[in-house]
Structure 1
């Protein structure tokens, strides 16, 4: 099976990239011939700006631009989508949000047309998100971030398209012990990405 790991951090030396690499290594450590593609949005220069061409796609007046079609094809090839990103201003980075804005388009991720009915088109896609935050768990809990993360991302984005969020991890802490624990957690998630028992429970 094939996983697409999307990482959104401008620094290739970042913990986000290290976590993405550990997910990949964990998956490769399992038997079964699984494959992985890492989409480094910053290094690849993906344009996150939602412009006139994207509005035309949303209104079903035009086909998606070539860069969007390429990203959709990446997801179509994948049996699982993994998002790895730092928490910026208590949300995902603009680069990743723009990737979702443009790629998860009307007519591909969902259909909302003249009948004014929503048709979810990504029901086959399991999603795993790993967000990295610098604050401690008490700070996030005190301000309701966990609920906000579930509402905004799990429900607001993926449930709207029918995709199943199987992993939603907020990896916290910045000292060496925390970093090591987070890397181990990422590798564990990679190893279990295509766990048959997990797939059957989510079906």
Structure 2
């Protein structure tokens, strides 16, 4: 299995990036498996949904070249992993813009003549890893955990048919929490090949 790990954090030395690298190492610890990293900030991906993106959605224009490149990168992977910091109880704008632009009609989903939705990403298992600077009690008490799962798991990937094999919030408010997040990142990576194989 080859996975694509996508991150969106402006700091190369962030915990988000460190957890992504631990996930990559965990996947690679399983013989025959590996992962590549797509660091959207470092790569300069433009998250703005432009007139060209809208024209593609309306079937009045071609898919922009940078979007096609991202779709090809995803098509070359057997699993997608999103690792992101939680900003205002959601994913960062850069990552959301990547989804807005890349998960296009005709590639991620389509509309049937009867008005129903055709889910086109059943081939793409997804692992979600959000990093937050609060404790689990805060997330549960305010309903943030369930709200984010509804928005991301169902609203995005469920709509496209991509099976979510795991969704975790790695919450840290001290150094011990950060170290635990790194260990959990490696464990999630090591477990991912088996989780993906179980879907086959």
TM-score by length of 1: 0.95
Partner of 1:13: 13
* TM-superposition CA deviations, 1:165-195 (whole Å, max 9, x none): 1110000013111111111110001111111
With over 3 angstroms needed to count, the CA separation of the structure-2 counterparts of 1:23 and 1:97, relative to structure 1, is same
- Structure 1, unaligned runs of 5 or more: none
**Structure 2 CA distance for aligned equivalents of residues 154 and 62 of structure 1:** 29
SS of residue in 2 equivalent to 1:194: helix
Partner of 1:186: 185
**Structure 1 CA distance for aligned equivalents of residues 3 and 157 of structure 2:** 17
Give the drift of 1:114.
Answer: 4.9
Give the drift of 1:113.
Answer: 5.4
SS of residue in 1 equivalent to 2:75: helix
**Structure 2 CA distance for aligned equivalents of residues 20 and 174 of structure 1:** 19
Give the drift of 1:21.
Answer: 0.2
Checking the alignment, whether the CA contact within 8 Å between 2:122 and 2:163 is kept in structure 1 is: yes
Checking the alignment, whether the CA contact within 8 Å between 2:79 and 2:196 is kept in structure 1 is: no
Partner of 1:66: 65
Partner of 1:28: 28
SS of residue in 1 equivalent to 2:167: strand
Matches within 5 A, 1:67-82: 67-82=66-81
Partner of 1:51: 50
With over 3 angstroms needed to count, the CA separation of the structure-2 counterparts of 1:115 and 1:59, relative to structure 1, is farther
Partner of 1:96: 95
Partner of 2:111: 112
SS of residue in 2 equivalent to 1:50: coil
Runs of 4+ with deviation above 6 angstroms? none
Give the drift of 1:35.
Answer: 2.4
Checking the alignment, whether the CA contact within 8 Å between 2:135 and 2:173 is kept in structure 1 is: no
Partner of 2:151: 152
- Structure 2, unaligned runs of 5 or more: none
Partner of 1:41: 40
**Structure 1 CA distance for aligned equivalents of residues 91 and 63 of structure 2:** 24
With over 3 angstroms needed to count, the CA separation of the structure-2 counterparts of 1:39 and 1:200, relative to structure 1, is closer
Checking the alignment, whether the CA contact within 8 Å between 2:112 and 2:118 is kept in structure 1 is: no
